[in-house]
Structures are given as C-alpha cells and as structure tokens.
C-alpha cells in the first residue's frame, strides 16, 4: 500500500506518440521523472531529439526521440520496426499524436476532415495493432501492459471552436478505447483513455493567440491544466494503482464536463 509501490512506473518502457511538446511532453516528463525508459515520437526530428535530450538531462533518465510520421500505414510500420529493433517488450503505449482543423460548417474542407480523422483514429488503431506483439510480451496477470489513448472533452461536450472533424475523431477514440479494452483485457493488456480539457499547447495556443485568460475564467478550477495534472493521471493508469481500471474515459478538465449546462457565474 505504499505510494512508491502503488504508483511506481520505475523501469517501465513507454512509447508516447506526439511526445515532443504539449500534452505528450508533459506526460513524458512524468514518466521520465519516475524512472521509466521513454520513447517519444514526432514528425520533426530536430524538435523531438532536442526534447528527448532535455528530458534525459533534467530527470537523469533515458528518453529517446524518434522522428516518425504515423499519418500513413508505412509510417506506422516504420515506427513499430524501429521500436522492435530496440526492445523485446513494451509496458505502456500512449497514443497521443493528433491534429485539429477549424473552419465554419458551411465551408469545412474535406482535407480538414480526412487529415484529422486519419491521424487521431486510424493511426491510433493501426499503431496499437502493430505494437501488440511487444505489449503482449510484457504482459502478465499481475503486471498487465497498458494502452492509454488521449481523447478530448471536445469528444464529449459541444466544443469551444468549430473543429468538427476533431470532435468526431475524439468521440471515436473514446469508443474505440472501450472496444479495445473489452478485446484485450483477456490478454492482460489494459486500455483506457484520458479526455483532457484546456492545456497549454501549440494547438490550443494558436486558437487563442496564446492568451489563456478567457479559458481560465470559464474553467471551474479557475485555471488551465498543468503537467502534473495530466502526467499524474497517466501514471495512475500505468501503475499498480490503476490495474483494475479498464475501458474508462477519464476527464482531466478542471470540471468542465461535470459543470456543462450549469450556471458557473
């Protein structure tokens, strides 16, 4: 029952897609700070390698940056092969890579639909499929492997912005999480999802010109998310403490979903 045992991720091997910045980097920081070996991926090789270097030095850990574009099946297979060449097993897969597109409903473009749906849903599924052999190798009844899919409260609530394909994609991520959880639990692979609310990121920052004050004023907690908020939840799901939690979509949003439809003034 000691905290250091209940929430330990020490010596776990973790793969986080889209890990060079934003929520992915925040989650990577949490695992790195607590003794895990962490692989992070991103399309920009320079950025992901610099982030991995910084995390390795900051937390005295082993963080490896991989340049990877998983928007295609070829890219997914290439990433899978790179990890398989380095590791015999994988304890935790965190499907975080995604994209968003905003436009009015009257002229929302097909490219904005396909790009977001492909990266957020299709790539999530097929990377999971390709990583199953490594996840199975690490899994047993007492210490199951984990898959954590990063959804969004935009897949639950009416979104703040006109991001139609993003909302639909994240709702699909949430349901796919439940479907995969039911399929894989008998293989000792536990699948859950996190639905974040507003966190500082390039994606959200661009939408609000990096001024988060209005979003903070609308949030029941009076702020946006911090690295500790999202990393702590991911560590819970990946640790002994979360080993009986399966198929859940857990909001991490300061109370936005819980307060939807209520007067917060």
Contact 112/167 with Cβ under 8 angstroms? no
Nearest to 99 by CA among 158, 39, 169, 29: 169
Residue 264: count other Cβ atoms within 10 Å of its Cβ. Answer: 11
The neighbouring-strand residues paired with 65 are 40
Whole-number Å distance between alpha carbons of 119 and 98: 6
Catalytic residue list: 166
C-alpha distances (whole Å) from 240 to each of 95, 96, 122 are: 20, 22, 29
Structure token digits, residue 234 = 């991911």
Contact 132/83 with Cβ under 8 angstroms? no
């Amino acid at each position: 029952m000691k905290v250091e045992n209940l929430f330990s991720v020490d010596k776990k091997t973790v793969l986080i897609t889209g890990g060079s910045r934003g929520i992915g980097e925040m989650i990577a920081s949490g695992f790195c700070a607590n003794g895990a070996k962490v692989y992070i991926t991103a399309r920009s090789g320079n950025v992901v390698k610099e982030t991995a270097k910084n995390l390795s030095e900051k937390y005295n850990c082993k963080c490896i940056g991989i340049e990877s574009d998983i928007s295609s099946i070829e890219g997914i297979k290439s990433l899978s092969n790179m990890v398989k060449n380095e590791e015999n097993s994988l304890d935790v897969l965190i499907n975080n890579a995604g994209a968003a597109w905003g436009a009015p409903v009257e002229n929302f473009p097909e490219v904005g639909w396909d790009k977001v749906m492909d990266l957020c849903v299709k790539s999530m599924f097929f990377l999971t499929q390709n990583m199953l052999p490594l996840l199975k190798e690490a899994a047993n009844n007492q210490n199951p492997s984990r898959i954590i899919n990063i959804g969004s409260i935009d897949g639950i609530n009416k979104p703040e912005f006109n991001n139609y394909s993003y909302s639909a994609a994240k709702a699909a991520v949430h349901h796919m999480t439940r479907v995969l959880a039911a399929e894989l639990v008998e293989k000792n692979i536990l699948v859950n999802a996190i639905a974040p609310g507003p966190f500082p990121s390039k994606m959200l920052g661009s939408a609000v010109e990096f001024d988060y004050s209005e979003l903070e004023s609308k949030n029941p907690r009076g702020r946006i998310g911090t690295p500790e908020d999202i990393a702590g939840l991911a560590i819970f799901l990946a640790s002994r403490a979360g080993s009986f939690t399966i198929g859940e979509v857990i909001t991490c949003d300061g109370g936005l979903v819980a307060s939807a439809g209520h007067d917060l003034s």
